Amino acid sequence: MNVILLHLVPASAYLLLGFVLWHARRAAAGQSFAGTVRILLASGLLSHGYALGQDMLDGNTLHFGLAIALSLTLWLALLLYFAESLANPINSLLRLAMPPAAICAILPALLPGNIHISIESWSFRLHFAMAMLAYSFFALAALHAVMLALAERQLHRGRLDAAGADLPPLLVLEKILFRLIGVAFVFLTLTLASGLLFSEESLIRPLTLRYKLGFTLAAWLVFGILLLGRHVRGWRGRIAQRWTLAGFVFLLLAYIGTHFVLEILLKRA
């Protein structure tokens, strides 16, 4: 299959889903789009996952890079949301996620990864899996934080328009947010610990590794303080949202930022 076409299929499914969700928020009350939403999301996830498999896997070699990292993170975050939506469907979150998901689905066709990593080592496979799960849980948490901020702003203005009409109670959203952060923090802790078991010099240069480790530790501290503040001081609302987004920015700088400099600005891996 043509490489562009391979990535256009999931991107189109996500864009179509975004259109359906936009139409659903403006439709008459009581009209259900739940079945259509799940079919389109499942179609996008399946085709997106297949495209990522073609991009990344070649025997015992892993092809990777900035575009693939973004695409994989969004795919995993949407997969986690799909599982979460079986109990707590939140169409407002999907409306926020569909535009970046469509862009990230097609990015690997435009910017193919030029990093080649041997994946024969079980320790690296474990480290890589935990890192991507951590990034994906935090990406989903960041989307929840943005959604909470928008909903709270509307409530403070004394209105909640159709865009937020399908939201669960804010306390429920906040519980989901901290559950996501808690799980992601565990994976991030394991990622940092497993990274000490083997060298990553085959993946990126030592100087870049130091920057990556520094930003990752900063993110770990931010989320650790947030969870401690929630437990000890009952942090919530804007404080929780700001700390969540700040920690996610550090994670973006840790991985996405370093690869952007290497692959886009410096034109090298």
Domain map (residue ranges) of the chain: 1-120, 122-269
With bands split at pLDDT 50, 70 and 90, how would you rate the model's confidence at 172? confident
pLDDT at 78 over 50: yes
Provide the whole-model pTM.
0.77
Q: Is the distance from CB of 51 to CB of 7 less than 8 angstroms?
A: yes
Query: Which run of H or E residues covers position 41?
Result: helix 34-56
As a whole number, the mean pLDDT across the chain is: 80
Task: Work out the angle between the directed axes of helices 34-56 and 3-26 (0-180°, nearest 10).
Answer: 160
Q: Is the distance from CB of 108 to CB of 67 less than 8 angstroms?
A: yes
pLDDT digits (tens, 9 = 90+) for 98-138: 999 999 999 988 877 666 676 667 777 788 888 888 988 99
Whole-number Å distance between alpha carbons of 250 and 112? 24
Whole-number Å distance between alpha carbons of 89 and 105? 22
Question: Can you give the pLDDT at residue 260?
Answer: 55
pLDDT digits (tens, 9 = 90+) for 188-205: 999 888 876 655 444 445
Here the tokens at position 251 are 């994670």
Higher pLDDT, residue 64 or 162? 64
pLDDT digits (tens, 9 = 90+) for 3-46: 788 899 999 999 999 988 887 765 544 455 677 888 899 999 99
Task: Work out the angle between the directed axes of helices 237-251 and 170-195 (0-180°, nearest 10).
Answer: 30
